[in-house]
Amino acid sequence: MNGVINLDKPAGMSSAAAVSRVKRLLPRGMKIGHAGTLDPLATGVLLLLIGKATKACETLMGQPKQYETTAKLGATTATDDRDSPEIAAAIQRQPSRGEIEKAVAAMVGVIQQRPPAFSALKIGGRPAYELARQGKPVELEPRSVRIDAIEILSWQWPLLRMRIDCGRGTYIRAIARDLGEALKCGGYLTELRRTRIGRFDISQAVSLEQLNLDGVEPHLQSISSLDAQQSEQGG
């Protein structure tokens, strides 16, 4: 049993918990992992790798990703999402649609992005979020990330819905934060749904409930095309 499951991860569940749920449906000792963590509040495409497909983890994590997200302007949070209390921002006026479009356009390309303080990145061997929860200062250096496109889906103060195409290592909640800073009104993430990783699209994703009903094998997708990509890349 080897292949990839395109799972539609539900909200409120960690990626590790999703892996654990599916592992119970597999034969004892079968290898399983995932490619690309989703925060508990996020939903959508989570690729579960089973058997020999676990070797394709790096290849899959390097694939372009697409998200649909909602940012709330006019406020901030410590975690840059709704997992912590909202802090209202003092703003002089609401940004116009034109100002938002200009700020969004400036974020497309290879940019320097400062990861959220509440992230799993290590500082002195400890996850940054552990230090942040203890109220200790967290200073993470900006990193180069690639934003391929940001499309505004809807805008009505204070909610901005966007579709974002990006590369590996991009924090979508950092985009919401930085957009709020650019517009001088603050911003944070309220909803996040990953709609695609490479060729794996949300329209073909399977729910945990369906996996429980059908079992894993009917929903396994071949890794043959991934093997071909690895060969081309010298992997």
Q: Is the pLDDT of residue 167 over 60?
A: yes
Same-domain status, 84 and 175: yes
Same-domain status, 94 and 160: yes
Same-domain status, 71 and 155: yes
Same-domain status, 113 and 8: no
Same-domain status, 9 and 59: yes
Q: Is the pLDDT of residue 119 over 90?
A: no
Give yes or no: 39 in active site: yes
**pLDDT single digits (tens) 5-31:** 999 999 999 999 999 999 999 999 999
Q: Is the pLDDT of residue 135 over 90?
A: no
How far is it, in rounded angstroms, from Cα 204 to Cα 183?
37
Same-domain status, 121 and 36: no
Same-domain status, 44 and 116: no
Same-domain status, 97 and 159: yes
pTM of the model: 0.90
CA distances from 56 to 121, 126, 167, 194 (A): 22, 27, 17, 20
Q: Is the pLDDT of residue 233 over 50?
A: no
In the prediction, which pLDDT does 225 show? 54
Total count of domains within the chain: 2
**How many other C-beta atoms are found inside a 10 Å radius of the C-beta of residue 233?**
10
User: Could you tell me the maximum CA-CA distance found in the chain, to the nearest angstrom?
Assistant: 60
Q: Identity (one letter) of the amino acid at 185?
A: C
Same-domain status, 154 and 175: yes
CATH code assigned at 41: 3.30.2350.10
Domain that holds residue 120: 65-196
Same-domain status, 116 and 133: yes
Same-domain status, 58 and 91: no
- Please identify which of the residues 8, 39, 81, 178 carries the catalytic annotation: 39
Q: CA angle, corner 202, sides to 97 and 61, nearest 5?
A: 90
Same-domain status, 133 and 156: yes
